[in-house]
């Protein structure tokens, strides 16, 4: 079993839809959670970062952390074609910036 699991997709939604991207993990030592967005032929860029249970919102994006279920979904509200990308969840045990565990990513296409 991989330590971090994501639905690979591809996921295709119409513009304006609410998108839910799933990420689960097995190691209860993970305390810091990140979502990266990766456009085609580009490197990943940090989208969201959180370390506490509950919701963290940034514009149309909401990351939810449920440590009891080891589940950290990312929700995108009013999805736009510019949201079309691969979304990677990542996590670490410590905030020391030297050990990260990544999911394989979910490919999302938002159709105009």
Partner 1 sequence: DVKVTQSSRYLVKRTGEKVFLECVQDMDHENMFWYRQDPGLGLRLIYFSYDVKMKEKGDIPEGYSVSREKKERFSLILESASTNQTSMYLCASSSPGLAIGELFFGEGSRLTVL
Q: How big is the site for partner 1, counted in residues (CB under 8 A)?
A: 24
Q: Which stretch binds partner 1 (CB under 8 A): 12-20, 45-53, 59-67, 69-77?
A: 45-53
Is 96 a residue that touches partner 1 (CB under 8 A)? yes
DSSP per-residue string spanning 52-104:
SSEEEEETTEEEEEBTTTTB--EEESS--GGG-EEEEEEEESSTTSS--EE--
Is 25 a residue that touches partner 1 (CB under 8 A)? no
Cα–Cα distance for residue pair 6/39, rounded to 1 Å:
17
Q: How near is the Cβ of 27 to partner 1 at its closest, in Å?
A: 15
In contact, 7 and 20? CB cutoff 8 Å: no
Which positions lie near partner 1, rule CB under 8 A? Answer: 8, 32, 34, 36, 41-46, 49, 88, 90, 92, 94-98, 100, 102-105
């Amino acid at each position: 079993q991989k330590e971090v699991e994501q639905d690979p997709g591809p996921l295709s939604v119409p513009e304006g839809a609410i998108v839910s991207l799933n990420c689960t993990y097995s190691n209860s030592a993970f305390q810091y959670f990140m979502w990266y967005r990766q456009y085609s032929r580009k490197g990943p860029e940090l989208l969201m970062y959180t370390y506490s249970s509950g919701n963290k919102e940034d514009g149309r994006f909401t990351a939810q952390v449920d440590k009891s279920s080891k589940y950290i979904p990312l929700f995108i509200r009013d999805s736009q074609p510019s949201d079309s990308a691969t979304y990677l969840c990542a996590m670490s045990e410590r905030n020391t910036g030297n050990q990260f565990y990544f999911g394989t990513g979910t490919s999302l296409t938002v159709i105009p």
